[in-house]
Every structure is written in structure tokens, then in C-alpha cells.
A = this chain, B = another copy of it.
């Protein structure tokens, strides 16, 4: 039996995506559901639906700090229930196929390299811009198997507290969580804004899509919030350009929907801060695979690592 498929699992903070992926990087079938308390059961059930003799192995991309050799998650602020669980063992025992594990932003980088926006580049850094900020680094066409916690660079020495324990992390200023918290804080203080009329007046239900839409209508609080966050993102991008001299920065995650304000501002700030020679050599581009990058990349990990 030719083992021409792999199952890719992408477990982010809010959604579980499981896909059957071909050796050409095409998703054949996909299951998506919100993460829940029974997350391990959901993973096993979805994988069970897709498994067959043609599956070479299962690749897992999980939000958090991964112990690759130990086959488990060390820390996952958004998925505390699976911290310390030997998830690789559990899945391997159930399906009797090789299983490998990576950080979810790292698998997204593999996906973009394989069949996405990174196909043409040997060296790039992917930023995942969502509730939090993560990343993956491709060097000489391969994933650097490093933490790449791009959201947890200090960019403001005496800055605000981050849930990770540090102060002034990029994520505190440039993530979706940061954008919403800044907007809500301003509204709570009585700032006038079209954002107030959103969500039937309950601004605690605001999404970054609302903020962007209303920013495009010219609302000053919404514009200012996205611009500020973008400026901080630009600092993070400039840092990575100065450190890694990549050919490309690939941006993915929900926030790239706000490209014309948030990302444009980030690009402007990065161009101001990074070494000119390095900035001129880098392309800053959006993801091609979008939400599928993680599933495809997790499957790619299987094709790469398991002969």
C-alpha cells in the first residue's frame, strides 16, 4: 500500500483543524471544530475519521512551547489542559503510525514553505498575528527547530506586563488581544467612537474585524488603535530583519485582514528601523494558505521527517 497521505493536526488556542493531506500538499478532507475541554478526544475522533492504510503518519502543530523529543507540550497558555500530556504517545498508541509534534506557528511556516507564500524563498520568517503572536523561521529551505517566540521579544524595556511574566513583550502591544483591550479601555473611559455602537452596544463583544471595518469608516479611535499596534509590530519585524536578514517576512493570522492600516503601518515602521540594506532585500507578504497553513505544514512535517 502506497502511503501517500499524512494527517495534519493544527491545534490553536480557539480552533482544532484536522486534515488529510496528500504528498503534494493538497488538503483532501478537513475537519474543523472549536477547541473544548475534551480536546484530546476530539483529536482522536477526527483522526480516526481520516485514518487509513494510506496514511504515513500524523503531524501535530500545537500552540505552545513544545518538547519535540518528549512528545509533549511544556507550556500552552491557551490550552492548559494538555500541558504535560504525552500527546504523541497517546496518538501513536491509538493509531499505530509515526507521530511528530511541533509548535503551530512552526508548522504554519513549513506549510507556507511547501506550497504557500514561502515556496520561492530559501530564508523567511513567518509571523502569526492573532490573539497572540507567534512565529516560525525557515533557513536554507528548512524549518529551524527553535522556539521562535516572536511575540515574546521585549520591545519596551519598562513596558506593560505580559501574561508570560515578562514586561513589554511585542504581543502586549501588537496582538488582537492588545488591540481589543486598548479599544475597550478607551471606550470604558468614555471616549467617543463609532465602536460604541457595535455589537448592539456591548463593546466587550468587539472583534478586530469590527475595529478594522469602523477604522475604514474613518473612526479616529479605531484608526489610532490599529496604527499604534501596527507601529509596534513594525518594531518586531525590524528586529527580526536585523537578526535574521531574511528574504521575506510572511504575515498570517486573522489580523492580516486589517492590512491597509495595521500592516501598512508596521511596514512603514520596520522600514524606518531596520538596517536599510537588509530592509531593501526583504519582501513583506501575506500568507497564501491562510488558515490551512498549519494543517498542511503539520502533514509536511510527517513527509519530511518520516521516510
Q: Which residues of A approach B to under 8 Å, CB–CB?
A: 65, 74-75, 123, 139, 144, 146-150, 152-159, 164-168, 173, 232, 235, 238-239, 242-246, 272-278
Contact = CB atoms under 8 A, between A and B. Distances in A.
Most buried by B among A123, A157, A235: A157
B146 A239 contact: no
Contacts of A154: 155, 235, 238-239, 273
B275 A147 contact: yes
B275 A146 contact: no
A272 B154 CA distance: 12
A246 B149 CA distance: 13
- 6 smallest beta-carbon distances between A and B, as pairs: A147-B245, A149-B242, A156-B157, A166-B273, A153-B239, A152-B242
A75 B242 CA distance: 13
B75 A146 contact: no
Contact of A146 (B74, B164, B245, B277): B245
Nearest to A240: B243
Given A74-B277, A154-B273, 12 more contacts: A65-B275, A144-B144, A144-B244, A149-B242, A154-B155, A154-B235, A155-B155, A156-B156, A156-B157, A156-B158, A165-B273, A166-B273
B147 A243 contact: yes
B243 A153 contact: yes
B155 A243 contact: no
A243 B275 contact: no
A227 to B, nearest CB: 14
Contacts of A277: 65, 74-75
A214 to B, nearest CB: 26
B275 A75 contact: yes
A266 to B, nearest CB: 13
Nearest to A123: B146
Contacts of A173: 157
A195 B238 CA distance: 37
Given A65-B275, A275-B65, A238 B166 contact: yes
A157 B235 contact: yes
Contacts of A148: 243-244
A244 B146 contact: yes
Given A144-B139, A243-B146, A232 B153 contact: no
A167 B173 CA distance: 17
Most buried by B among A123, A156, A272: A156
A168 B157 CA distance: 9
A145 to B, nearest CB: 8
A241 B280 CA distance: 27
A153 B238 CA distance: 8
Contacts of A157: 155-156, 159, 168, 173, 232, 235
Nearest to A232: B157
Contacts of A273: 154, 165-167
